[in-house]
């Protein structure tokens, strides 16, 4: 159940980031969702005290949000400085 929660958090963060950044290209939206998903799963999975199949602690949820946002911010900075 916890794994599903972390996947949902990552997907929602990526979708919100695509709205905030006003990306109109479908590939950018999918990239934002994928990056936020990786950040949420990585940080949430590392900070959860038990297995993800059982549940997720509040600290793991907070870490998932922070990890997803951090990777999305890094991607936005990379796009602005290197790619354009």
Q: Is the pLDDT of residue 45 over 70?
A: yes
Question: Which pTM was predicted?
Answer: 0.79
**CA 71/CA 14 separation, integer angstroms:** 10
Length of the chain, in residues: 84
Report the share of the chain in percent with pLDDT over 70. 90
Domain ranges of the chain: 2-81
Q: How many angstroms separate the first and last alpha carbons of the chain?
A: 40
DSSP 3-state assignment of 22? coil
DSSP 3-state assignment of 25? coil
């Amino acid at each position: 159940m916890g794994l599903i929660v972390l996947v949902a958090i990552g997907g929602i963060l990526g979708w919100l980031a695509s709205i905030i950044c006003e990306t109109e290209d479908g590939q950018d939206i999918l990239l934002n969702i994928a990056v936020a998903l990786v950040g949420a799963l990585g940080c949430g999975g590392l900070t959860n005290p038990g297995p993800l199949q059982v549940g997720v602690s509040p600290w793991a949820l907070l870490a998932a949000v922070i990890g997803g946002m951090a990777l999305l911010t890094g991607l936005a900075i990379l796009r602005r400085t290197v790619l354009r």
